[in-house]
Amino acid sequence: MSIKGRFGPYGGQYVPETLMSALEELEGAWREAWADPEFQLELKAQRHAFVGRPTPLYAAERLTEHFGGARIHLKREDLCHTGAHKLNNALGQALLARRMGKRRIIAETGAGQHGVATATVCARFGFDCAVYMGSEDMRRQAVNVHRMRLLGAELREVAAGTGTLKDATSEAIRDWVTNVDETHYIIGSAVGPHPYPEMVRDLQRVIGDEARDQYLAAEGRLPDAVVACVGGGSNAIGIFTAFIGDSTVSLIGVEAGGEGIESGRHAASLVGGRPGVLHGAFSYVIQDADGQVLATHSISAGLDYPGVGPEHALLRDLERAEYVAVSDAEAVAAFKLCTRMEGIMPALEPAHALHYAGMLARELGPNGRILVCLSGRGDKDMQSVAEFDARD
């Protein structure tokens, strides 16, 4: 990163003037906290006792045998408390908000996992909590809606636009502008204005740091490829960061291809978008020729977002990471295959990565090694899969 808040040309702070002082306050508090050994000790203790870290590295032997190629390992973020990697970020930001003296937390959520993680840390530390969620996502993620309410969060339904993550994020930003003095906004992915992409990456890097050490211990070498799904991109940047300096390791981000890039019904910002501004940052955005953000589609609510974290945009341009798209049908097939072959039901988000990992395993052959970030579990997606099957 060169100038403040930038990853090459990407990132920045494209926000109303009313938020600039709040972002400056947040950046200062974050840098101070991150450098404070006491903050780091508390974060480490909470990660262990509350989140359940370190999460295990798992050799997917039956999937490896099925694909007949490279050896596949899964980094089991699905075993985090609340069922996904999202708690790594929510916990760190909650500790920061407490340090800053904030009394109220807001968040946006798509698949509901970030909303659940935020509601969970608010229950843990006694914050007031409001979560913005699109009406379509509330319908397809009803289990997580109930979980958030049980945890004491106020759910604010957003019916505007497509009723998905983009619209929920826009409403959460409006809330923050209005209540900035007492409220901290926990953004759920490595998106948004500086310092959020950097802060979320640093909190999610625990995935990659653990996985790298675990992989070396298990295999005596590094993997040939690290594969992760990308919506906003927090689980991917979290695992990629630990391997960026290893030139022998390919980094592959898997976006939501929906019904196909050509169809226009997808959520693959890096594969099918172009640079633009969304939610306070300059990055790749799915937009029309006039710069209007287009509606997206994915069976996975957590990937159904028209933008992506700015660091991913830079990694794409530098060709340090490769970004590909996997369709709804391919993700559902991988969801079912992993469930039946390994007894592990993945969320639909990492099911996209699992599909690509299977294709890559055949290409690399038996001497290859692949590490997949299994970012969450799939209980929340059983209804979506059932509805998809019913349409066929």
Active site residues: 86, 108, 375
Task: Give the largest Cα separation in the chain, rounded.
Answer: 56
> How many residues can be counted in the chain?
392
Does the CA dihedral 376-34-185-270 come out positive or negative? Answer: negative
C-alpha distances in Å from residue 153, one per residue of 51, 150, 166, 175, 237: 19, 7, 20, 15, 28
**Is residue 37 reached through a cis peptide bond, with omega within 30 degrees of 0 on the bond before it?**
no
Give start and end residues of each alpha helix (H) in 228-327. 234-240, 269-272, 310-317
Close Cβ partners of 41 (under 8 Å, ≥ 6 residues apart): none
The beta-strand segments (E) located in 118-153 are 128-134
Question: What span, in angstroms and rounded, lies between the C-alpha atoms of 311 and 57?
Answer: 26
Tell me how far CA of residue 46 lies from CA of 88, 90, 332, in angstroms.
10, 12, 34
Contacts for 332 with CB less than 8 Å, ≥ 6 apart? 299, 348, 351, 385, 388, 389
